[in-house]
A and B are shown apart, each in its own frame.
Chain A
């Protein structure tokens, strides 16, 4: 099949690589970004390069789309996020090559987007379809998520697309049929509702954590116990210093905004987001209280900046907020992240009080306290003795509840987690 992939995010790079890897011919419109980004995603860049060198991924410039030099009889146009590629879609509008194509939106930005796109650009092209297939592609395991999906919600509005979409996903749909066909609006809604549900679980757990702090209960024990209930399950129950990442927060905001337009909305998702904003402030507030508001010239070590482990992405990451708040009070920050160093250096290039270091040890040298913002595996079992030696105030603020408080305390370290402050066992 001939496939054009538009967009420059992770979804675009994964879709291009994986679809090429099973024999399709793929044209990409943002090759430069795809080549330089997401190099830390396991296996991805290698796969992309292999497909490129054997000619199954080809770059096509925007101008070439408009000159009707687009690949003849394009079967699919994969759009990662519509707003990023409107100009490209515009160029394709009158191209005969896409007169029978199916446009596939991977990351919807509103309910009704697919129908809107069809009406806006391809109203007069009866055979053009627009589908919405919001794939679950998680950073750190993106190739696996694409090649062995647990389910594929395929939103289409005409039956003739069904067989073509089936054949597109045929190579990734072998063990059991995981394709579920719904309307485009249902697929878009599912995507938003899913994100809103996950965010609500997280904010709910953060509320419970806050109550746990006030009742001398370790929220981590409670988390394990309620997760045993099959109606609840273990996923997305981890309290912490806030969720980040572009898609989750943005999509929850979108649904919240849409809900707010109804007069009888009581604001559940607004509260979910507000709780998350508060969580992102939580480590700062704990550190502030610890130092009685005297943060001027105090050095704070931070481990982890990426919004989750396995990625270098720092979009909306809680760590950024923490650093902003600390430096605004005159504190100095030494931050270490496993993959996000270069992004951090770029982000804080104008802030003298932030230094990005290349090891967890360098971060704690001459620091007063340590704050942990991302649950990278290498932070789970640190050398507590070393921490106690280096940290002048012998204190750890664990924003992801990954350390063992009793071990920290055995080494003379004060430990503050999320929802487990006063726990001593």
Chain B
């Protein structure tokens, strides 16, 4: 039975029609106990749902829906390593990557935490060898630059964490810097070639399958760059390339030295993999201690998610409210708005996490669903987004729900004059965060605000009128550090799982990305073929033929 046919779903539909429709979210917030009723705390993390269009009854009915969808047993199956990724017949055990060393997790009679810890100690050794300057390039100079070559989950997670926690980077004597190149167009990697020294650069090739064309094409260029400086291929392979993959065989075939191979498991999905060897660049930049803090932050959320009853379970509540917004209130879009520029890559990261996981339209059993799944999700650092797409959220025609994310403390240890000024900036930022979520909720008229009166004008200026009634969640973390960032990311991972479970879909596969890859191969061979093509549709054929004609020419403004 589809979840939409369940009694609980229907009850929610009736509740919407009877109790919610016609109510504005601002009205719900008139109650004094609203915050107390709809905010939750765990380990200094605070989530405030008071600006969501939910009542106690909504919450109750959503929790019944969760029961009906067997959420509890699904969470247990996730934690125990049951093969819940049914289309690929394997478990999804990213949570195993952040288990404390002392804990056992037996799956199919094997304690998989042993393998996890073994990789962590391999990472540890690599980090040590790089940080103490004993990892040498072909000419004997110590390595200074690490370039992560990966795309999607092999790029976004490490990139997010490395950028967000830049203040926590280790000040190595040899000043190691971490870089990222993901795009197959070569623009990023060519910039690396122009700015870094081949003698002191190590490339980390991250690809779960070790067949990702984006990464392998960048890696091939990297190897050519190194080989043009040092023709000894074995030396280049050994000193300049690290591989992270499930397939030792493919890493070996490519030339990754056995000592430089880090293992991944098919039970860790790419977009859930920053906790594994994929996070090598994180461990290099932030040091092992911070890497482990990141893992332990995530683990604290795992424990909370696995052990807390549904009604007090933060990821469960986030997920259920997400379902409520998507399927009942009909909100088609979700904005991610961190009020801290260090989290600038969080929206990109969550775009993949949520839309690649839940952007699906069939159930685990292959049945089409007759309700909406993942909303369109996007975002930007809040204060910048205020000057970009908030206009649409305030006065457009679309419903959007938002997550406002901010740290309570920032620059609190600065006592210089500019430090005090930075603290002021932090307060200004928080003021904007809280004001925007309130403005989106309450709306109003600019004339009224300007005249500072509650008196309603008979004919308010329509251009200065804000309908309000846009919902949001506010997440406050005490401060941004490895532990809290680990918590924040794990929170969203589990929220995604909750939503997928309600919708009955598999969040751990991504068949949607395959078709284009296959077509790209055919297209490439047509592009390389000198004769004009007629193989595809008329539009595509014309584009291909235009490129064939134009590729050798110099255009206006050309500098090549």
Which residues of chain A have a CB within 8 Å of any CB of chain B? 281, 284-289, 292-293, 325, 328-329
Contact = CB atoms under 8 A, between A and B. Distances in A.
B376 interface: no
Contacts of B235: 292-293
B134 A328 contact: yes
A284 B136 CA distance: 11
Contacts of B138: 293
Contacts of A325: 134
Contacts of A281: 140-142
B232 interface: yes
Given A293-B238, A293-B239, A325-B134, A284 B232 contact: no
Contacts of B238: 293
B140 A284 contact: yes
Contacts of A286: 140
Nearest to B134: A328
B229 interface: no
B134 A289 contact: no
Centre residue among B132, B140, B232, B238 by max chain A CB count within 10 A: B140
B108 to A, nearest CB: 38
A274 B510 CA distance: 50
Interface of B: 132, 134, 136, 138-142, 232, 235, 238-239
Nearest to B236: A293
Given A325-B134, A328-B134, A329-B134, A285 B232 contact: no
Given A293-B238, A293-B239, A288 B232 contact: no
8 contacts: A281-B142, A284-B140, A285-B140, A289-B140, A292-B232, A293-B136, A293-B138, A329-B134
A287 B238 CA distance: 17
A82 to B, nearest CB: 28
3 A-B pairs closest in CB distance: A285-B140, A288-B140, A328-B134
A297 to B, nearest CB: 16
Contacts of A328: 132, 134
Contacts of B239: 293
Contacts of A292: 232, 235
Contacts of B139: 285, 288-289
A271 to B, nearest CB: 15
Contacts of B136: 288, 293, 329
Nearest to B239: A293
Contacts of A289: 139-140
A322 to B, nearest CB: 12
B173 to A, nearest CB: 9
Nearest to B238: A293
A328 B142 CA distance: 12
A292 B236 CA distance: 10
A288 B238 CA distance: 14
Nearest to A290: B140
A281 B134 CA distance: 12
Nearest to B135: A328
A325 B136 CA distance: 10
Given A287-B140, A288-B136, 18 more contacts: A281-B140, A281-B141, A284-B140, A285-B140, A285-B141, A286-B140, A288-B139, A288-B140, A289-B139, A289-B140, A292-B232, A293-B136, A293-B235, A293-B238, A293-B239, A328-B132, A328-B134, A329-B134
